[in-house]
């Protein structure tokens, strides 16, 4: 698809200037101060900001098995409303993403819908049993990431063997760091202890490891220090752990931490030490949430939460936010998105930075309305999301 956007503030990890951008055949063709092109759809972006669309390293669309919470179509539409055109899905579905059949179902449905680019993670252990790895031979050519997200791998030997396999097959291990021996007594220690163990196993095996939803300052500090000598480590933080802390009572896993943890993570973002934002979009039905299911539905307000907290309140450059929501996340998944550069995919998001909006989960496209930030005043309204030069979401739709 072809489209020209003019008079817009262009921002990515390395760019901030007013100009025009031309997308031809779905690819960024030209970026300049005044592009003239006849016979092409043109948008006047005056007063707006154009960024690369966002890529999510961590989301749950619940299909197969829990479609009453979310499905691939509603999750994809929620992603578009939030400015995302690429999403890595976790494998704790029902049945889990431990077989070719389940993974192909997700990928085939995504291709038929053709709304966003979906990447399905496989499970480290078969059906999340914490022990079996024999299924990996069946799925390794369909996935780039394996994770037992939602549980973590308790056995050090099993994870060691999985890391050996992942290194050989060039798969990324995503670690859900929660030591079950501490889950009922100390969730902070549960995260920290498994983080330390998984770092050491990765260093021993040479595996590439990505830490999901890091929330404590101790875990983040250890990862950052180890990255200096072992570059195959990366980590993500979530919008909700950045926007708030344990001043509110809302069940999410890992829990909302102390104010000092939140502030430490913000400073890590400021210094460029955080690699990625993973939304951990976790939609639930009202009944499931009332029964204690952990998680927040938030992919369609993730940017607004982060923009409000980091850019508006903490004066962190918008370029930094683009780096951890677009460039780094796309690089981690090995896809050619996330930058305003000629030759990259024409996936863009048009934003009104100054527009106020009161968060109301009832207006979510997602089936999950479970979000604790109802009534918060947010900035950074998503006006439009463009994928491969095609307008996939416009706020008036």
Non-local (6+) Cβ contacts of 39 within 8 A are none
Domain(s) of CATH 3.20.20.140: residues in the chain: 53-333
- Residues 244-270: tens digit of each pLDDT: 999 999 999 999 999 999 999 999 999
* Residue count (the chain): 397
149 is catalytic: no
- Residues 51-67: tens digit of each pLDDT: 999 999 999 999 999 99
Mean pLDDT confidence for 282-291 = 98
pLDDT value of position 371: 98
**CATH superfamily of the 3-50+348-394 domain:** Urease, subunit C, domain 1 (2.30.40.10)
For 263, the token pair is 């502030």
Q: Is the peptide bond before 254 cis (omega within 30 degrees of 0)?
A: yes
Q: Quick check: 264 and 222 in contact, CB under 8 A?
A: no
d(CA 311, CA 103): 37
Flag whether pLDDT at 351 surpasses 80: yes
**Helices 187-205 and 156-169, interaxial angle, to 10°?**
50
Longest CA–CA separation in the chain, Å = 66
Non-local (6+) Cβ contacts of 351 within 8 A are 48, 49, 50, 51, 83, 303, 380, 381, 382, 383
Could you tell me the pTM of the whole model? 0.97
pLDDT value of position 157: 98
Residue tagged active-site, from 192, 198, 280, 331: 280
Give, in words, the CATH class of 53-333.
alpha beta
Domain(s) of CATH 2.30.40.10: residues in the chain: 3-50+348-394
Mean pLDDT confidence for 163-181 = 98
pLDDT value of position 373: 98
Tell me the chain's radius of gyration from C-alpha atoms.
20
């Amino acid at each position: 698809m072809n489209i020209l956007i003019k008079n817009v503030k262009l921002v990515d990890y390395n760019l901030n200037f007013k100009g025009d951008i031309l997308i031809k055949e779905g690819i960024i063709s030209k970026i300049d101060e005044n592009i003239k092109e006849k016979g092409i759809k043109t948008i006047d972006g005056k007063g707006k900001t154009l960024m690369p669309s966002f890529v999510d390293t961590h989301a749950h669309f619940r299909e197969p098995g829990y479609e009453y919470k979310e499905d691939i179509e509603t999750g994809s539409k929620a992603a578009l409303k939030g400015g995302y055109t690429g999403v890595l899905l976790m494998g704790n579905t029902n049945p889990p993403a431990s077989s070719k059949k389940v993974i192909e179902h997700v990928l085939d449905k995504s291709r038929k819908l053709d709304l966003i680019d979906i990447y399905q993670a496989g499970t480290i252990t078969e059906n999340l049993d914490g022990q079996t790895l024999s299924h990996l031979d069946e799925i390794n050519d369909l996935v780039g990431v394996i994770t037992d997200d939602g549980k973590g791998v308790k056995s050090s030997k099993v994870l060691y063997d999985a890391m050996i396999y992942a290194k050989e097959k060039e798969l990324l291990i995503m670690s859900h760091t929660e030591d079950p021996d501490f889950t009922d007594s100390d969730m902070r220690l549960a995260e920290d202890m498994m983080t330390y163990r998984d770092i050491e196993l990765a260093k021993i095996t040479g595996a590439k490891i990505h830490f999901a939803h890091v929330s404590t300052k101790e875990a983040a500090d250890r990862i950052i220090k180890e990255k200096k000598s072992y570059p195959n480590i990366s980590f993500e933080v979530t919008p909700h752990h950045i926007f708030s802390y344990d001043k509110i009572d809302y069940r999410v896993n890992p829990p909302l931490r102390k104010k000092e943890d939140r502030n430490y993570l913000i400073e890590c973002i400021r210094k460029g030490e955080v690699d990625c934002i993973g939304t951990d979009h976790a939609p639930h039905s009202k009944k499931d949430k009332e029964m204690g299911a952990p998680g927040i539905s938030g992919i369609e307000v993730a940017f607004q939460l982060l923009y409000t907290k980091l850019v508006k309140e903490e004066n962190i450059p918008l370029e930094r936010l683009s780096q951890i929501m677009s460039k780094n996340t796309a690089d981690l998944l090995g896809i050619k998105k996330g930058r305003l550069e000629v030759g990259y995919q024409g996936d863009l998001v048009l934003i009104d930075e100054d527009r106020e909006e009161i968060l109301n989960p009832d207006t979510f496209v997602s089936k999950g309305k479970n979000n604790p930030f109802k009534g918060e005043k947010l900035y950074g309204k998503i006006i439009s999301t463009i994928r491969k030069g095609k307008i996939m979401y416009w706020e008036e739709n």
